[in-house]
Structure 1
Amino acid sequence: MKKIFFYLVVIFFYQCQAQKKTTHNNTPMNIIDSSFEKLNINNSTLLKTKKRYGTADPPKYIVNLNETLQSGTSIETYGLLDTYYDQWITPSRGWFRYYKEFYSDGNIKLKRIYNKTSEGNYGFLYEFDKEGKLLRTTDFEKDWKTSFIGITEIANKYAKKFNYKVDTSEDGIIISKNDQQWDKEYVKIWRKEQAVKKLWFIGFNKGHYENSDDKKVERVVVIIDDATGKEIKSLHYFDFYNYFFKEPLEDK
């Protein structure tokens, strides 16, 4: 009986280890997986949007469908018939949206995620052949140590400290980069490599109509060392209305 119990424990341990190899502790990024998908290219609602593309012969046609689900998730599907399709899916909550490409028959070609608030590579990129077989997986997180959740927790601390009324939670209602106007209150997260360091940045924005032109926006920027997860510098300042956050790095 003891031997059976021992083997069960061993099996459970290795199953857990195997699962760790295919998932991140960056749970906000785990919104896609490597499973096969097929777009219904004969969807009548999609085909109703069909229109001619260009004037060359033989004629080509495109489709472009925008939908919003009851959950608030928006889905934009675009396609050049007999050539390719792509799809942007933006959940109403959370920091990430995801992108999918499909072959002309609707079989999945690739899928990946994007940060709603800034540019950069995050999570996994999955690429498939025409039959839907997984060709390769690119893990953009393998060289990063600090989890996205850890960064949002730091963001929450600074939002409270400087009285920013923004949602910083991992499943929060996040303003996308296309809607980041100088007069809006918003938060963004981005990351980059600086010299030999990997750094995370948190930026807060708040507009002040009543201020002079050189102090129209109030900004807070926080820098985190990815290796330690610790804050290494922060900056609170006022600026002209613009979209560019200062990055007060130590190495000039």
Structure 2
Amino acid sequence: MPANAISTNVPVLQLTDIRKTFGGITAIEKFSLDVHPGEIVALVGDNGAGKSTLIKIVSGVHPPTSGSIAIDNEIVAMSNATMARARGIEVVYQDLALADQQSVYMNMFLGREPVNRFGLLDRRRMIAETEQLVKELDVRIPSAHATIRDLSGGQRQGVAIARATHWASKLILLDEPTAALGVAETAKVEEIVLSLKSRNIGVLIISHSLDQVFRLSDRICVLRRGRQIGVRKTAETDKNQIVAMITGLQEH
């Protein structure tokens, strides 16, 4: 991406002064962040820092207690996951949310199955679109008819990301997308994530691996105990600085 692209684009996502409490517990405090089209922003921090809570706020699972969410400069109320999807936002969680007994093509359209003029499932269309997408993303699965339970971890993750890619028009949220994968499968998933930049889709990724964060991200946002410690351009920082921010040795 050209150096000036991020500064001239309208952010696809703007979080402003987001606060989230659960009872008397404050999970997120005054958090602000922009994500631009074609930009990959990494959320990093120790367990309990609030990373997954933020993803759930953006995806409509948890409404913020206060603060605002804007998509393409329009303030939105993201009160449920359906509203987030309608805004072009898709999520890939660690547990993938795939139906193990179903085929790849049925998973690709789960809950959004098209019907033909007779009111029956349009399986031909689903299979054709699935095959086209997995070919484009180079997700190496036996076929669109393969059952999810018969696939490897990396293939399943590829299907989950392909599904998100198929439906997302603005933003994809990834919560530890390669946590359970081996080296080769991780590399394949990272390739797919990087390919989203060319489609001008914004990506917000949580990863426990700083190596991965430095390979993929344009910017890194550090959280500690629900507070935003700072945001760094990846090319202008290093792992030592990020670790210091995560652990509290450096405050901003």
Which is richer in strand? 1
TM-score when normalising by structure 1 = 0.24
Structure-2-length-normalised TM-score: 0.24
The higher relative CO (CA closer than 8 Å, separation ≥ 6) is in 2
